[in-house]
Amino acid sequence: MASAPNNEIALKFRFFQVYKDGRVELFYPHNKKIPPSDDPVTGVQSKDVIISSEPQVSARIFLPKLKNPNQKLPLLLYIHGGGFSMKSASSPAYHKLCNQVAGEADFIVVSVEYGLFPTRPIPACYEDSWAVLQWVASHVNGNGHDPWLNDHADLGKVFIGGDSAGGNISHTLAFRVWSIGLPRGVKVVGVVMVHPFFGGTKDDEMWLYMCPTNSGLNDPRMNPDVEDLARLGCERMLIFVAEKDYLIVAAKNYYEKLRKSGWKGTVELVENEKEDHCFHLLNLDSDKAQEMRYKFVSFLKQDQFNLL
């Protein structure tokens, strides 16, 4: 006869609690998902692709309306937030955001579906996201698995972006671009972090619990040192912070360390005044959300503007 579960709480964090018997209970377990679609308003098409079956990794690709059948487009790899334990590339807000960015920037957007805690503890999120970036890069010679990327992706103009946990993951990917590398012809131009998570807050212990293989409070994925920041594999970075966000101090510390690191790229910090963490996802059509997205899209298209 099975013993009754021990309902005594051993640990409690922002997004979940752990019982004495080891069970983990997420406070926000239900992730609504919507299917890919063809948007009749923007002309953006989307579809889901399988990157790996073991472990299970996938992505949702957004292709904007083409001006001609041979058009080549820059590409944004987008990594959703959700405390490393929630949300999805197919969550309504993230689907709409990527659809909007694809249409407004005229970019292919590849939105990563990575493994979530507790089913797949950290570092699954980093490994899965890196696997998707490598999969994207495999299309550089036009002989990859996906026809949209083979025919229309300009992989000499790749950007990485994400919010909250996704902003944090974006940093690790940028470092791996330098330390591990990507195939010849693939270039990561820039990174966009929206209200990113980094160490130095009360959520440090939560991240450490979610990552059993962590190396402590100075784990470079949570708290990158100056030497790692100096080696980011991109040329430009844009960091958004929100005035009322408890993560703002950690994100500003990252910005200051990056500026002083000796990194050869350029970084810009934009503060969303009177706003809280990831406010834009609550209403993507609000004036403040549109203003933020305009800045995001302008950063992606900066090289094109410079050619005008």
Residue 243: how many CB atoms within 10 A of its CB?
11
Q: Which of 95, 139, 171, 277 is catalytic?
A: 277
Greatest alpha-carbon pair distance for the chain in Å reads 74
Q: Which of 39, 163, 203, 245 is catalytic?
A: 245
Ordered DSSP codes for 12-80:
E-SSEEEETTS-EEESS---------B-TTT--EEEEEEEEETTEEEEEEEEPPPSSTT--EEEEEEE-
Q: Are 26 and 19 in contact, with CB atoms under 8 Å apart?
A: no
The position carrying tokens 């939105």 is 111
Distance CA 170, CA 163 (A): 9
Task: From the candidates 90, 138, 164, 170, give the one annotated as an active-site residue.
Answer: 164
Handedness of CA 284, 287, 288, 293 (dihedral sign): positive
Active site residue 48: no
Is 245 among the catalytic positions? yes
Residue 166, both tokens: 């996704």
Say how far apart CA 276 and CA 23 lie, in whole Å: 31
Distance between CA atoms of residues 138 and 61, nearest Å: 15
Residues 6+ apart with CB under 8 A from 225: 218
CA-based radius of gyration for the chain: 19
Annotated catalytic residue 139: no
End-to-end CA distance of the chain: 74
The answer to whether the beta carbons of residues 156 and 183 sit under 8 Å apart is no
Catalytic residue annotation: 164, 245, 277
